[in-house]
Chains A and B, each alone.
Chain A
Amino acid sequence: MSATPPDVREPVAEDGTATVPRRPSRWWIVAVPVAIVTMLAASGYRVPVFWWESGQHHEIADGEAEEWVAVAEQTSDAHGDLTRRYSVRLAGLGGADPAYVARFDEFRLADGMVARTVRLDFRADPGQSLKNCALTLVDDEGRQYRVGHVHDGIGPKTRVCVPEETPGPGLPIIESEVRGRLPEGEQPRPREWSVSPAIAVPENATFVELRISFEDPDYVTLRLPR
């Protein structure tokens, strides 16, 4: 073993003048964090797709029961971006009914479950699309009871938050449809209305909030009195 390793020794040119010492490459020290960030970004698409857009994660408005809450929700249709505007007030929860009665579902509940109505008042322009809303009651244990979502087993699917006979327009899904246009023969929705859809819940549950959601991840929270 010589005293000095060959590649850290000051190289000396033939004419005796010293040249710049040769050093091991250090560029990878910069490259490593760049590589890690690139890797995380490349696999990060899973976060929006499988988590953010597949559940209720973004509270866009909130308020107490019996107070009006104004909501402006960013959404889009076949023609581009738009804002869904409405005001909502939670008037309260109805009593307990052992039978679940909805448009296509009528049956007796079991296992200590009852049907409770959610009384909601709405105000909105008749041109706003308010079909396809889901209502979720959350209890003090964090359990969620929902009606109106496309994957819900029981209850109405599209007309939870709007009047049965005058639900108003839907969002255009193809470009030939016109925003805000009603089907032939349908009357426009009133500017103010009330709904009271039923949700199947345990009789002894204590509810802390009601969530209103049209599209994940956005939702509106209306807190119930404790």
Chain B
Amino acid sequence: MRRTVASAALVIAAMGLGRLINDHVPLGDSADRPFVSTGEVGRPVVLDYAEVTVTAVHVTPTVMGNPASASGGRWLVVDTELLARTRPTLMSGFFLVDAQDHRWIASTRGSECASSASLSTGVRHYASFCFDVPRRALGGARLVATRGAWTSHESEFRRDAVADVDLGIAGSEVDDLWAQQEPLDVRESGPVPPGEARR
């Protein structure tokens, strides 16, 4: 009888311990959290598979193309330079994170707006990502770039290297950026530097 009580107590204690570990030890962090490298506009962020550089950030109501696409809010267009370091790499994850830690995905609407990037090793790739966002997403926005695409449970880039680049939009600049009317000509992504025509 005493043995039965002891083993019952042991089982209950083990279950309690499991519950405590589950509730209070950050297992999710060690199992899921990506490796984040932060950066800013104009400086390359070096990941183990690629270098990510944000070269310019634009805000416009209209992206030129065939046909021109008006935004629902405003287009936040992020120009990037991407370089695979050691092997050919497909990067499919490019999304925005705002100051409130909310996520915003890129639009595939403008024909020149990229949603992913196929990188040949050592060959610089130029790509622009277009985000159709409301005003609240602009201030403090960051571009996150990684290999796995964004999904609502963010499982595609677990334990992968992620570049997190501050786009340098201060809260005080948002009104001016929102008021801009100049349409933007987005260039086709690829290995040709912007401003240089294909040979």
A and B: bona fide binding partners:
yes
User: Interface of A with B (CB < 8 Å)?
Assistant: 5-7, 99-100, 105-111, 113, 141-147, 149, 151-155, 200-202
Q: Report B-chain residues with C-beta under 8 Å of the C-beta of A201.
A: 122
**Closest approach, in angstroms, between the C-beta of B14 and any C-beta of chain A?**
14
Q: A144-B88, A153-B117, A154-B191 are in contact. Are A109 and B123 (CB under 8 A)?
A: yes
Q: A111-B122, A200-B120, A200-B123 are in contact. Are A143 and B191 (CB under 8 A)?
A: no
**Closest approach, in angstroms, between the C-beta of B87 and any C-beta of chain A?**
4
Q: Report B-chain residues with C-beta under 8 Å of the C-beta of A149.
A: 88
Q: Report A-chain residues with C-beta under 8 Å of the C-beta of B190.
A: 107, 153-154
Partner of A153, one of B120, B198, B199: B120
A sample of 12 cross-chain residue pairs with beta-carbon separation below 8 angstroms, ordered by A number, consists of A105-B191, A106-B199, A107-B199, A111-B122, A111-B123, A111-B124, A145-B122, A147-B120, A151-B118, A154-B120, A200-B120, A202-B122
Instruction: Confirm or deny: B37 has a beta carbon within 8 angstroms of a beta carbon on chain A.
Output: no
B74-114 vs A, CB cutoff 8 Å, 1 = contact: the mask equals: 00000000010111101000000000000000000000000
A151–B86 touching, CB < 8 Å = no
Q: A107-B198, A143-B87, A200-B120 are in contact. Are A153 and B192 (CB under 8 A)?
A: no
Q: Report B-chain residues with C-beta under 8 Å of the C-beta of A105.
A: 191
A153–B122 touching, CB < 8 Å = no
Residues B173-199 near A (CB distance < 8 A): 190-193, 196, 198-199
A144–B123 touching, CB < 8 Å = no
B123–A154 touching, CB < 8 Å = yes
A153–B86 touching, CB < 8 Å = no
A110–B121 touching, CB < 8 Å = no
Contacts A153-B120, A153-B190, A154-B123 supplied; 8 other A-B pairs, CB < 8 Å: A6-B3, A99-B199, A108-B196, A141-B86, A143-B85, A143-B121, A146-B88, A151-B118
Instruction: Count contacts between A and B, CB distance < 8 Å.
Output: 74
A152–B118 touching, CB < 8 Å = yes
B120–A155 touching, CB < 8 Å = yes
B87–A153 touching, CB < 8 Å = no
**Closest approach, in angstroms, between the C-beta of A3 and any C-beta of chain B?**
15
A7–B3 touching, CB < 8 Å = yes
Q: A107-B192, A153-B191, A154-B191 are in contact. Are A146 and B121 (CB under 8 A)?
A: yes
Q: Report B-chain residues with C-beta under 8 Å of the C-beta of A111.
A: 83, 122-124
Assembled-state Cα–Cα distance A145/B121 (Å): 6
Assembled-state Cα–Cα distance A45/B34 (Å): 23
Instruction: Confirm or deny: B119 has a beta carbon within 8 angstroms of a beta carbon on chain A.
Output: yes
Q: Report A-chain residues with C-beta under 8 Å of the C-beta of B193.
A: 110
Partner of A152, one of B86, B88, B198: B88
Q: Report A-chain residues with C-beta under 8 Å of the C-beta of B199.
A: 99, 106-108
Say whether chain A's binding surface is mostly helix, strand, loop, or mixed: loop
Partner of B87, one of A108, A144, A147: A144
Instruction: Confirm or deny: B142 has a beta carbon within 8 angstroms of a beta carbon on chain A.
Output: no
Identity of the chain A residue whose Cβ is nearest the Cβ of B92 in the assembled complex: A151
Q: Report A-chain residues with C-beta under 8 Å of the C-beta of B123.
A: 100, 109, 111, 113, 153-154, 200
Assembled-state Cα–Cα distance A126/B185 (Å): 48
**Closest approach, in angstroms, between the C-beta of B43 and any C-beta of chain A?**
17
Identity of the chain A residue whose Cβ is nearest the Cβ of B2 in the assembled complex: A6
Q: Report B-chain residues with C-beta under 8 Å of the C-beta of A99.
A: 199
B114-137 vs A, CB cutoff 8 Å, 1 = contact: the mask equals: 000111111111000000000000
The residue in B83, B118, B120 that gathers the most chain A C-beta atoms within 10 A of its C-beta is B120
The residue in B122, B123, B198 that gathers the most chain A C-beta atoms within 10 A of its C-beta is B123
Q: A107-B199, A144-B86 are in contact. Are A153 and B118 (CB under 8 A)?
A: yes
